[in-house]
Amino acid sequence: MGETVELKKQEQSFIELGLSGLNRQSGNVYEEFLKELQGTRGVQVFKEMRDNDSTVGAVLFAIEMLMRQVEWRVEAASNEDEDIAAAEFLESCLHDMDMTWEETISEILSMLPFGWAYHEIIYKKREGNQGDTKFNSRYQDGRIGWRKLPLRAQETLYEWKFDDKDGSLLGMYQQPPPDYEIRFIPIEKALLFRTKVRKGNPEGVSILRNAYRDFYFKKHIENIEGIGIERDLAGLPVALVPPEILKANSSAEARATLNSIETLIKNIRRDEQEGVIFPKAMDENGRDLYELKLLSTGGTRQFDTDKIIARKDRGIAGSVLADFVLLGHEGVGSFALSSSKTHMFANAIGAWMDLIASVFNNVAIPRLFALNSFNIENLPMLKHGDVETMNLEDLGNFVQRLTASGARIFPNAEIENFLLRQAGLPEIDFEAQDQDFLKSVQAQRGVIESLKIAIKEEKTTLDVASEILSKASGMSIEAANKALL
C-alpha cells in the first residue's frame, strides 16, 4: 500500500496540475484591461502610434537602426572539426535566404511596437541553381536550409489556438489580404518573438504600452490646438438672426434657414476656396435681419500647450528609456546626462537582442539541425555583438592604468585584437605570423648548419661566415659568431 502511494506521488511530479491563468476566450486574449488595446484593435492603435507620432517614430527609428548595425556571429560548440563544420553550415544558412539577414531582423523588430512577431519557417533543399528563384541556393550540398522566415503580420491575426488541457499555444489563425481566407500556422512551423512573457501570453506587451496615455492626451491636445489656431486665424464665426427662427415652434421654412446658417458657420475655413454667400434681408426699418461676422480672440490662453505637449513627449520617450533623443530640444541637458541615458538605452536594446538570439538558439537552430545529419553533441549558437561602441579615450586610459599597476596584458593576441577591433582597425593574424617566424627560424638554422660545414671544411673563414649570417638574418656580428661556434 505504501509503495502504491509513493508511486502516485512520483507520477504527479510529471503531471501539470495548474494553469497559467491567462485570460482567454475563444482564441482571443483579454489580459489588457483597456478594450481599445485588446486584440486587433490594439494592433491598430499601436500602428497609429508607430506611423503617426513623431516622437514614437524617432524612438523606434533609433532602436531599429542601432539593432540593425549590430554584427551577428555564429559560435561553434568547440574547436572539433565537426563542430566547426556545423557552425559554418549555420552561418551559410543565415545568408542563403530569399530575404537578407538584415531584412529578417527588421521584420522581427515589429515585435517592439506590437509586443509580438509571428514568423513562419520555410525550408528548402540546397541544390544550387534550380531555375526557380524561390528554391535557388548558393550551395549544392543537398542539406536542408532556411528559404525564408517571413512575418505573419500582426493585423492579420484572426485568433490563437490553445491546447484545451494545459493552455499551451498550438498555433495562429490568420486572415490576410488579398483573399482574406483563414489560414492556420502551427507553432511547430513558426517562431514567436515577444518583448515580454507573462502567463504564456502569445501577444507579449508592446514597448509603447506605457506611452499610450501620454500619446492619447497629446493627440487630443494637438487636435484642439490645431482647431484653436485655425479659429484664431479665421476668427470665431457669429451669425445674427431674427429671434423668430430660433423658437421651438418656428415654421419648417425657418428651421431649414437656421440649419443652413449653422452648417455655414461650422464650415467656414481660411483656404484657397474661402468665401461666403449670405442673404441680404432687411426689416421695415431698413435694418439687416441677418448678419455674419468674425470675432477675433485676443490675448493669450490660460494653458501653454507647448509645455503640455513637450511633457507628453518626454513621457513617451522616457517609457522606453529613450528620452535622450529630446536632450537639447529645450536648451538643457549635460553631456554626462546624455551619456548615462544612452548607456541605459543600449542595455535595454541588448536585452531585446538577447531575446531574439534565445528564440533562434532554443527553437530555430535545433529544428534546422534535426533535418540535417551532423555527428555533434552540442549545437552552434547565434550571438550578437555589442550595441554600444566603447569610448577609445576611456579604454586607452583603462589599459594604461592596468599596465602602470603591473598587470601583464601584453603580449596577448586576444587582447590586442580586441583593442584593434574596438578602434575599427584590421586584426592581426597571429597564427600566420607564428608560421612565418617558424619558417624564418628553420631557414636560419639551415644557413647556420651550411656555414658551419663550410668553416669545418675550410672553404671559408669564421669572419666571412659571420658576416654572411649577419646580413641574412639581421643579427649582429657578435651574435653570428656565437651561433657559428
| DSSP state string for 178-246 | TT---EEEEGGGEEEEES--STT-TT---TTGGGHHHHHHHHHHHHHHHHHHHHHHH-EEEEE--GGGG
Dist CA 72 CA 234 (whole Å): 57
Beta-bridge partner residues of 192: 118
Q: Which helix (H) or strand (E) holds 446?
A: helix 430-456
> Cα separations (Å) of 41 from 45, 94, 109, 158, 427?
6, 34, 20, 12, 52
pLDDT for the residue 336:
44
Per-residue pLDDT of the chain (485 residues; tens, 9 = 90+): 556 666 566 677 778 878 889 999 989 999 999 999 998 899 999 999 999 998 898 889 888 888 888 889 999 999 899 999 999 999 999 999 999 999 999 999 999 999 999 999 999 999 988 877 788 899 999 999 999 999 999 999 999 999 988 889 999 999 999 999 999 999 999 999 999 989 999 999 999 999 999 999 999 888 888 877 766 666 677 888 888 777 888 888 888 888 888 888 777 776 666 677 777 777 777 777 777 777 666 555 566 778 888 888 888 888 877 766 665 555 544 444 445 566 777 788 888 899 999 999 999 999 999 999 888 889 999 999 877 666 677 777 777 787 777 777 776 777 777 777 777 777 776 566 556 555 665 667 777 777 777 777 777 788 877 777 777 766 677 777 777 77
Contact indicator for 32, 179 with CB cutoff of 8 Å = no
Reduce the DSSP state of residue 363 to 3 states and report it: helix
pLDDT for the residue 300:
57
pLDDT for the residue 337:
42
The whole-angstrom distance between residue 208's C-alpha and the CA centroid of its chain comes to 13
Cis peptide before 279 (omega within 30 of 0): no
pLDDT for the residue 179:
93
> Cα separations (Å) of 482 from 449, 453, 459, 472, 475?
13, 15, 19, 15, 11
100: left (phi over 0), alpha (psi -120 to 50) or beta: beta
pTM (two decimals): 0.71
pLDDT for the residue 341:
61
pLDDT for the residue 10:
67
pLDDT for the residue 442:
62
Residue 279 burial (CB < 10 Å; 0-12/13-18/19+)? exposed
pLDDT for the residue 43:
92
Q: Measure the CA dihedral 46/50/51/55, to 10°.
A: 130
pLDDT for the residue 254:
80
